[in-house]
């Protein structure tokens, strides 16, 4: 009798297990179909946007009037941004598609710069036309490969991602799909859409970078402008690290050298308990600091924590910085502060802080932007009056405040402006008017959220 009971129990358990397995398989198949449909939609949009982008760039090069140039350049700018968004939704290996993404971002930024330039009445110079031509020619090759990959997808029904069983982690005789070559050095036919995109990405790595004034261009400033004129050794760097930790509230810190680093801010990386900090060899300053300690229960308001962090900065010698924004992230906040000279806010000279709400201590510190761009500026230029600058604003704008400021242009060029904050049509904006010639330099929309204010 007991034997019969156990047989029945096992049969029921087997049946339930089989039903569960079938259910899971069906669910997996449904998810696979949904994912492939999602990929197909994103890829179709990506193909369309890249093709349209190439067409509009071609038209912008032959446009004979500023109106037509602005139209086609602005279309290129918008389509490049949309293409990047669609590209981010496609499957790729762990290394992503950095070069495809980079060229689309560069095209988007450069066409935005040219759009603003032409809209101001400035003609495109020979070097502008040359860079636009180089970008267009490279995009033609990218578009050709993307269109061929799209045809392969539709006619040969290739997979979206290579089967996992075809590769063994860390070993194997196969050639990496991102650089596979067939006969006569030609790229091998991709086995999946993901592999095809990676082959395209790898081919772009061999090409030289563009050179132009833009924020995604690798040629920004050749070296940090603000580092003190001195070089320190390891022992001196250790003392700098200890002084910094003491200044932000660590009693009797003891640091250990983790390693050295290279680059513009290269130097010595130190560790103290859960904290890491970088001290630059050139200049002898702390550029980065992060403490990954476990946070306690919040006991301070956002404003109290921010005030305490700013007071700490003041005590550490940052006498001329002013807080510009706060972002609430739960148990901690992000605070941004900028340099201020003669009541003028210098926005490129920025310091970023992470502050814990349990005790108001700084747990993150990034001063790289400050040391990168800080330099002696001529702030005594002949500037227009505030009233004249105000005349450049929309007449219906209700001004909340105004103040002088230095902001960055694309390519890290700086401009002296009047900053106006005001409302119009139920929304708030920051408008920057050039303090030298009264032209409108930048407009940013202010978005209010529970976590803080954001700029678009």
pLDDT tens for 289-321 read 998 888 888 899 999 999 999 999 999 999 999
Together in a domain, 278 and 367? yes
Tell me the pLDDT band of 8, cut-offs 50, 70 and 90. low
Answer yes or no: is pLDDT of 355 > 80.
yes
146-162 per-position pLDDT tens digit: 787 777 777 766 665 55
pLDDT of residue 36: 57
Instruction: Give the CA dihedral 109, 105, 337, 219, nearest 10 degrees.
Output: -80
Look at 84-98, 258-272, 424-438 and tell me which has the smallest mean pLDDT. 84-98
143: CB partners within 8 A, 6+ apart: 50, 51, 53, 54
Q: Is the pLDDT higher at 75 or at 210? A: 75
Answer yes or no: do 361 and 398 share one domain.
no
Are 57 and 191 in a shared domain? yes
CA distance 107 to 74: 11
Mean pLDDT (whole number) for 327-340: 88
Q: How many domains does the chain have?
A: 3
Is the pLDDT at 113 greater than 60? The verdict is yes
Residues 362, 390 within the same domain: no
Q: Which has the higher per-residue pLDDT, 453 or 222?
A: 453
pLDDT level of residue 370 (50, 70, 90 thresholds): very high
* 399 and 336 in a common domain: no
Instruction: Choose the final residue of a domain: 332, 352, 373.
Output: 373
| 29 DSSP assignment | H
Residue 217 has pLDDT above 50, yes or no: no
Per-residue pLDDT band at 116 (split at 50, 70, 90): confident
Q: Is 433 helix (H, G, I), strand (E, B) or coil?
A: strand
Q: Using an 8 Å Cβ cutoff, are 156 and 117 in contact?
A: no
Length of the chain: 456
CA distance 101 to 109: 12
Same domain, 97 and 65: yes
Helix axes 98-119, 126-156, angle to 10 degrees: 140
What is the model's pLDDT at position 170?
33
Q: Give the percent of the chain with pLDDT over 70.
A: 72
pLDDT at residue 92 greater than cutoff 90: no
Same domain flag for 338 and 391: no
256 and 368 both lie in a single domain: yes
Give the separation between CA 425 and CA 437, rounded to whole angstroms.
Answer: 27
CB count, 10 Å around CB of 376?
8
What band does 439 get if pLDDT is binned at 50, 70 and 90?
Answer: confident
Q: Are residues 292 and 390 in the same domain?
A: no
How far from 377 is each of 348, 431, 436, CA to CA, in Å?
12, 22, 15
Sign of torsion over alpha carbons 293, 297, 301, 307: negative
Give the pLDDT of residue 201: 67
To the nearest 10 degrees (0 to 180), the angle between helices 193-205 and 126-156 is: 160
Between vectors from CA 420 to CA 411 and to CA 310, what angle results, nearest 5°? 75
Least confident of 169-178, 285-294, 314-323: 169-178
Six-digit token string for 53: 């982008």
**Which helix (H) or strand (E) element contains residue 387?**
helix 386-390
Residue 207 — pLDDT band, cuts 50, 70, 90? low
Domain of 66?
32-164+186-205
Whether residue 427 is contained in a domain is answered as yes
Q: What is the mean pLDDT of residues 341-353?
A: 91
Q: Find, among 371, 361, 372, 369, the residue nearest to 244 by Cα.
A: 361
| Closest alpha carbon to 348 in 393, 414, 264 | 414
pLDDT, tens only, 117-150: 787 777 888 888 888 888 888 888 888 877 877 7
Q: In this predicted structure, what is the pLDDT of residue 186?
A: 45
Residue 221 counted as domain residue:
no
Which residues are registered as beta bridge partners of 409?
none
């Amino acid at each position: 009798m007991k034997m019969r009971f156990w047989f029945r129990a096992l049969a029921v358990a087997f049946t339930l297990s089989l039903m569960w397995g079938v259910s899971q398989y069906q669910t997996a198949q449904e998810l696979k179909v949904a994912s492939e449909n999602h990929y197909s939609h994103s890829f179709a949009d990506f193909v369309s946007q890249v093709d349209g982008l190439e067409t509009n760039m071609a038209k912008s090069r032959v446009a004979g009037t500023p109106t037509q140039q602005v139209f086609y350049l602005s279309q290129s700018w918008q389509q490049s941004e949309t293409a990047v968004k669609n590209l981010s939704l496609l499957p790729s290996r762990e290394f992503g598609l950095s070069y495809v993404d980079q060229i689309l971002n560069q095209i988007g930024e450069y066409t935005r710069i040219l759009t603003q330039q032409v809209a101001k009445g400035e003609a495109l110079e020979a070097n502008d036309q040359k860079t636009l031509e180089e970008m267009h020619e490279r995009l033609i090759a990218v578009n050709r490969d993307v269109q061929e990959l799209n045809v392969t997808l539709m006619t040969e029904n290739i997979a979206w991602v290579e089967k996992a069983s075809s590769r063994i982690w860390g070993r194997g005789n196969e050639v990496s799909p991102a650089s596979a070559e067939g006969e006569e050095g030609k790229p091998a036919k991709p086995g999946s859409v993901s592999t095809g995109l990676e082959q395209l990405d790898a081919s772009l790595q061999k090409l030289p970078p563009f050179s132009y004034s833009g924020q995604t261009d690798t040629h920004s400033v050749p070296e940090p402008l603000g580092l003190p004129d001195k070089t320190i050794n390891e022992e001196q760097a250790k003392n700098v690290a200890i002084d910094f930790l003491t200044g932000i509230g660590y009693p009797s810190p003891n640091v250990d050298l983790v390693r050295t680093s290279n680059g513009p801010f290269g130097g010595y990386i130190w560790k103290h308990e859960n904290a890491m900090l970088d001290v630059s060899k050139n200049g002898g300053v702390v550029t980065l600091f992060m403490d990954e300690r476990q946070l306690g229960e919040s006991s301070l308001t956002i404003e109290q924590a921010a005030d305490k962090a700013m007071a700490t900065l003041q005590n550490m010698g940052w006498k001329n910085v002013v807080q510009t924004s706060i972002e609430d992230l739960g148990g901690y906040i992000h605070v941004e502060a900028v340099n201020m000279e003669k009541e003028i806010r210098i926005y490129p000279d920025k310091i970023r802080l992470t502050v814990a709400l349990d005790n108001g201590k700084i747990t993150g510190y990034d001063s790289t932007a400050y040391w990168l761009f800080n330099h002696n500026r001529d702030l005594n230029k002949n500037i227009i009056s505030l009233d004249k600058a105000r005349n450049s604003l929309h007449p219906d704008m209700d001004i909340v405040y105004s103040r002088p400021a230095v902001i960055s242009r694309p390519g890290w060029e700086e401009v002296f402006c009047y900053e106006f904050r005001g409302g119009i049509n139920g929304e708030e904006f920051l408008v920057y008017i050039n303090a030298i010639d009264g032209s409108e330099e930048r407009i940013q929309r202010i978005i209010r959220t529970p976590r803080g204010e954001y700029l678009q």
